[in-house]
Amino acid sequence: MTKPKISSDWLAGCAGCHMSLLDIDERIIQVAELADLRSTPITDLKTPDESGVDVGILEGGINNSYNEEVALRMRKRCKILVALGDCAVFGGVPAMRNFFPLEDVLKRAYVEAESNDESGRIPSDPELATPTRVRALEEVVPVDVFVPGCPPDADVIFYVLSELAQGRKPVLKGDKLQWH
Ligand code: SF4
């Protein structure tokens, strides 16, 4: 029997959700036995197969045009799209910037932040001049499975992966998962 293909990618986040995925430890072998693990940001293959995958997993919110491009590509190439973590589910930490004017946010990040020296300045990149707000994944593409948490617990991620790898829909358990 052909194994379902799973790909993942990340958008505006901190990589913590993928680190939590790695926290499933040796259970990754069980997942690999059930599914064909394809592209991820932490392996050599970076983009999902053009011919498509069964499950696409995205961490992070939509913060810029590149994030949007990655989200659209994954949505186009996967049958089931999983929003992994609070940033993907509702914008999470990056969306905190939505409460402030873009200019103030850029100044804080590139000039005032304690990690900058006196040469810090706002880069002249057209991307940074676009007054977007951070959006949840579902505001840009339809999402099939929501996995909240910052990051989601490794046990929850293992449960979601193993269910999807076996062609089953993860079921609602408390407030941890939601299937559309
Ligand atoms: S949900 Fe939390 S752990 Fe995951 S990318 Fe966002 S900030 Fe990082």
Question: How does residue 59 score in pLDDT terms, banded at 50, 70 and 90?
Answer: very high
Question: Dihedral (C-alpha) 156, 157, 163, 166: value to the nearest 10 degrees?
Answer: -150
pLDDT at 172 over 90: no
The whole-model pTM stands at: 0.92
Kindly report which listed range (39-48, 81-90, 142-151, 162-171) carries the lowest average pLDDT score.
162-171
Say if CB 137 and CB 61 are below 8 A apart.
yes
* Distance in angstroms (rounded) separating the CA atoms of residues 70 and 85: 17
- How far away, in angstroms, is 151 Cα from ligand 1 center? 5
Q: Which fold has domain 5-96+133-169?
A: Rossmann fold (3.40.50)
- How far away, in angstroms, is 65 Cα from ligand 1 center? 20
For the CA of 89, the closest atom of ligand 1 is 1
